Amino acid sequence: MNPIPTYKVTAIDLGTMQIDQANMLYEYNYGQKLEFHAFSAAIEGGGVKILVDTGIKDPKWVSEVMIPTWIDKEQEVERALGEIGWKCSDVDIVINTHLHHDHCANNIRFPNAEFYIQAVEWDYCANPIFTQQILYRNYWLTGELTRWQYHIISDDYHDVLPGVRLMQTPGHTPGHQAVLVNTAEGTLCATGDSANDMLNFSAGLAPAGHTSVPAALASLEKIRAGADRLLMSHDRNLTRWQDSAFPLIPARAAGPAVPGWPNPPTS
């Protein structure tokens, strides 16, 4: 039996947004404006380069229609990847966890890549619910990108390569997917927006901006069962170009673990 390859994973910072925390963690800490970064996961091993999500492209547009957003020099996609010795043309595979603007806007910058997306997400983005319509801007079909550059996946636990597996994690969108990666530190999950804070796991809080709370909570437990460590796209504790010691998935706390929330009745 051939051993499963291990991969190096690096967090790539591709933009900053100022968001009310309640818009990231469902019904938590209303009114607290915080900075959240748009992280991608650069995966390298066996001569293959894979990027999970491609970040923000037009911060001016995002700032005008949604929330304050900016990209500094080190967050420009070519420069951010250059810090780990990559060029955009080197990337073999792009995996989009979903097609919201901050996860696919730079797809066009990867001319030699094959793209992977879930079929449910591909269909949903044509007619999203009203609250998510603004988040889709058709970046995945701009310039020379056509539907024929995309592998549209219908099965769960789809292996892109040995040691790189797609896992359906609906909730934030119906067709959201996460990526499981075999690393030297265990199985890492690049979560996209299926998780963005440790409170998702320790307190059972769903991410905000979802299409289904039950589906989002089920996806958190699916990640907990299938992975050891997390690279969350909007984790405020993640650092640029971090390539090891990603956080371990915490066990679910008994009772509420959210500061200031009342304890449940004991009987």
Q: What is the CATH number of the domain that holds 61?
A: 3.60.15.10
Gap between the Cα atoms of 72 and 76, Å rounded: 7
Strand 229-232 and strand 186-192: the pairing is parallel
Q: 216: closest CA among 7, 11, 25?
A: 25
Residue 82, helix vs strand vs coil: helix
Is there a domain that residue 116 lies in? yes
253: confidence class by pLDDT, cuts 50, 70, 90: low
Residue 93 pairs with which residues in a beta bridge? Answer: 50, 114
> Minimal CA–CA distance to 62: which of 161, 134, 13?
134
Three-state DSSP class for residue 95: strand
Does the pLDDT at position 256 exceed 70?
Answer: no
Render 105-127 in DSSP notation, one character per residue.
TTGGG-TT-EEEEEHHHHHHTTS
Residue 11 structure tokens: 């967090």
**The pLDDT value given to residue 28:** 82
Q: Among 235, 172, 180, which Cα is nearest to 206's?
A: 172
pLDDT of 92 strictly over 90: yes
Residues 6+ apart with CB under 8 A from 267: none
Whether pLDDT at 25 is above 90:
no
Q: In this structure, is residue 261 part of a structural domain?
A: no
Task: Judge whether 3 and 33 are in contact, CB under 8 Å.
Answer: no
Give the containing element (helix H, strand E) for 9.
strand 8-20
Q: Residue 241 domain-assigned?
A: no
On whether residue 224 sits in a domain, the answer given is yes
Is the per-residue pLDDT at 156 higher than 80? Answer: yes
Mean per-residue pLDDT over the chain, rounded: 92
In-domain check, residue 254: no
Query: Would residue 219 count as lying in a domain?
Result: yes
Q: How many domains does the chain have?
A: 1
CA distance 1 to 183: 19
Domain that holds residue 27: 8-232
Residue 256 lies in a domain: no
Can you tell me the distance from the alpha carbon of 66 to that of 20, in angstroms, rounded to the nearest whole number?
A: 12
- Element containing residue 225 per DSSP (H, E): helix 213-226
Give which of 30, 57, 41 is closest to 8, Cα–Cα. 41
Note whether residue 259 is domain-resident.
no
Q: Do residues 103 and 55 lie in contact, with contact meaning Cβ atoms separated by under 8 Å?
A: yes
What tokens were used for 94? Answer: 């792009």
Q: What is the mean pLDDT of residues 224-232?
A: 98
pLDDT per position as a tens digit, 159-218: 999 999 999 999 999 999 999 999 999 999 999 999 999 999 988 889 888 899 999 999
Whole-angstrom distance, CA of residue 151 vs CA of residue 118: 8
Chain segment 133-154, per-residue pLDDT in tens:
999 999 999 999 999 999 999 9
